Amino acid sequence: MQNHQHRVVVTGVGMITPLGHNVADTWAAILAGRSGFGPFTLLDKGDHTAGGLCEVKDFDPEKHLGRRDARRRDRNQQLATVAAREAMAQAELEITDANRERIGISIGTGVGGIRTLVDQEQLRVARGLDRLSPFAITMIMPNGAAGMLAIDFGIQGPSTTITTACAAGCDAIGHAFRAIRRGELDAVLAGGTESILTDVALGGFEQARATSSLESRTPRPFDRERDGLVVGEGAALLVMESLEHARARGATILGEIAGYGQTTDAHHITAPAEGGAGAARAITLALRDAGLNPEQVDYISAHGTATELNDKYETQAIKAALGETAYRVAISSTKSMTGHIMGATGAIESVFCLLAIRDGVLPPTINYAVPDPDCDLDYVPNEARPAPVRVALNNAFGFGGHNAVLVLKEFAE
């Protein structure tokens, strides 16, 4: 696709993660190589085999939303609200009767309000049906965050929720990118949110043998001694606009979304395709969509979950898509610090890509100690590295065989 009708730029970003309650604090922690890993506080350790979690720490939703609104939103919706407010404030995008139908919402999430679902079922068992919240359904439904944000900001354009597991955040941004590029919308509030920290969700990952049992220096993406992912929570939202719309209102442009590739493995419900074939196709499609070649890529934000097959096959996918250039491109997994935030992870890491471009610095992959012969690329081990970044790829792959890749660029006239 070379006939792009509209260029798509980013004018605002917001996030809340295990490393901070805003972009600045989170990014400072990333560059310092600080880990968001810690002990269980949102649920009891009990019989869980996971060594720890990446929780959002010291989060009081009532301070952000007030008691009434906080009680009517699942934690994933609360986190999305905090991130959205920061993004909209930075973008200074005023929504009025004249433009609200030309602005949309695109949110990615893996599950939605599973914390509310579990809490309400426990309440039903203990106290009966008549004790359930009248807001239970709207707190549980995956599109609840998008619906709440539309009400909060008065957005009346298309509102979409994408649930492609851990690819959802990238897919939400990708679909917003396409809508703006085609001229269907002038702006979209896009990103992802997730909070699945419940016994049933964590236990399910443990039974699938996907989680790390270590109690320190974990997760370890691309390291030979990696033993699984660490479940995290958080949210990130981006204000995306057509270049014409952003210019007309004098907005500050943070970067450009230039391409999007999306494929499905059709191989296995949890394991990636051997050799990373589907992921490689998504990378190739994203670069083609952006009109770029492999030699122009400066940085890759890897999916990098620290599971045995993902890291091995993602490495192979990068090699298949980029050829010899793969050995010259810097790659890192910020999940080594944030944990795996499922449907929000692609959005969070898209913000990291924009910040890497802005600041000319590569985020590190921490906890890296023992090289793996199957993972033999440059993973920016343990310390951030100054380097110019003009083009970044953001990889996100999810259960169900979903693959999504975004191309983010330095904005140039």
Give the residue numbers annotated as catalytic, written as ranges: 166, 303, 340
Q: Angle 23-31/345-359 helices, nearest 10 degrees?
A: 70
Q: Angle 144-153/75-91 helices, nearest 10 degrees?
A: 40
- Side by side, the strands of the sheet bearing 391-398 are 159-162, 103-108, 187-194, 234-242, 8-16, 255-264, 402-409, 391-398, 299-301, 330-332
Q: With CA atoms as reference, report the closest residue to 238 among 220, 251, 222.
A: 251
Which residues, in sequence order, are CB contacts of 376 under 8 Å at separation 6+? 315
Asked if 35 and 265 touch (Cβ cutoff 8 Å), the reply is no
